[in-house]
Structure 1
Amino acid sequence: SKLQVPNLSVGGITHIAHAFFSFGCIEHCLELLLPMLETSRSKPQVRMNSYMSLFYLILANVCNGDMADSRPVINIQFYPFELPLLTNDIRFEALVLKFQQELYSRRAVGMQQFHFNLTLDPLVYACYMKFKCKRLVGDNIGSCLALKEFEEMGFSGVSHRYVALSLLGCCLYENGHKEKAVSMFGMSIRENKERMATYYHIAILLNREISSNTLIA
């Protein structure tokens, strides 16, 4: 039977899909992601990232226009105990972020220590999971379409866009688009030069290319 999640937020649906994805329940994961992503394309979503967000959400849902029935988009977070369940790309992001935050904490004398968490826009992570699911089931056409959708989402005003661009670069490289992957990593760095994870992604890409003797010209 079809999974029904009529009253959940975008983040809530993404979290449930993440649980299915983490335990290999690809079909259930896609059952949740596909209608949510379709809705996000047809109706503008309200991102809860400013003091005016709640006002916009209420306004959207009392109107009968295109934004009616909009759901709030609240960033989701991953914590250390979740690391074994994450994909290699995101686990790497989390580990580098943890190292970077610990480094900053040691330097921040007299300041409160940083607490580790990795924050993602739920629609970005939904696109990422959809691409991974399509790859896992061997749907090449579906994975290409999911990648295109991910690209569109990455340029649609998501929060922490540099994270989206970095993960998009990982997916592009996985799908064989090496030059475009490097371009996405470069855009991510330009948006946040202090973020070490993106530099490490580039280093891993170059190491793989050197090892396979197919270094990008």
Structure 2
Amino acid sequence: MSAPHRGVTVFLTGLSGAGKSTIADALIAGLEAEGRPVTVLDGDVVRTHLSSELTFSREHRDLNIRRIGFVAGEVVKHGGTVVVAAIAPYEAAREEARELVERHGRFVLVHLATPLEVCEERDVKGLYARARAGEIPVFTGVSDPYEPPVRPELVIDTSVTPLARSVALVRAAMEGDGAPPRARGEAGAPAR
């Protein structure tokens, strides 16, 4: 007899342009094609609907991530699958989200460690250019720090790891037995 399905949150974090939404979209499409319902917590969407009153101060950014962690934990408590795509620049807030989820299930932190230069080249919204011109006073990677995760389950540089491989690494981490693979692009991918 198999054990009941345990809920899981995949938390994709990284700079703007690192590939969070691209990987999230491909991951979600694959899961849904298998008939697995997914709750999506995209940072921009959450800010619009759940945290619209918040600014981009550190305190408010942490509160936003805390809210995401709480909602993810509630879904995971009932055996659900959650995919989060959020910059989440501060380590303490990410760890708080981890704690809120791990009370009920698994938390898989995926750091998209794509270099800043690559993220700026991909900047379809022109946000980095506006930040560098001083039009956006607080912007992660330019005028505000991004604290790399201390204990991610997975590290992927999307500038060297193709989308399909990135999604496969995330799936392996999700489906793992609590010891997901650690990888930095292709070089660190474990043999299975």
Q: Same fold (TM over 0.5)?
A: no
Could you tell me the TM-score, scaled by structure 2's length?
0.29
Higher relative contact order (Cα pairs below 8 Å, separated by 6+ residues): 2
Give the number of the structure whose residues are more often helix, by fraction: 1
Give the number of the structure whose residues are more often strand, by fraction: 2
Could you tell me the TM-score, scaled by structure 1's length?
0.26
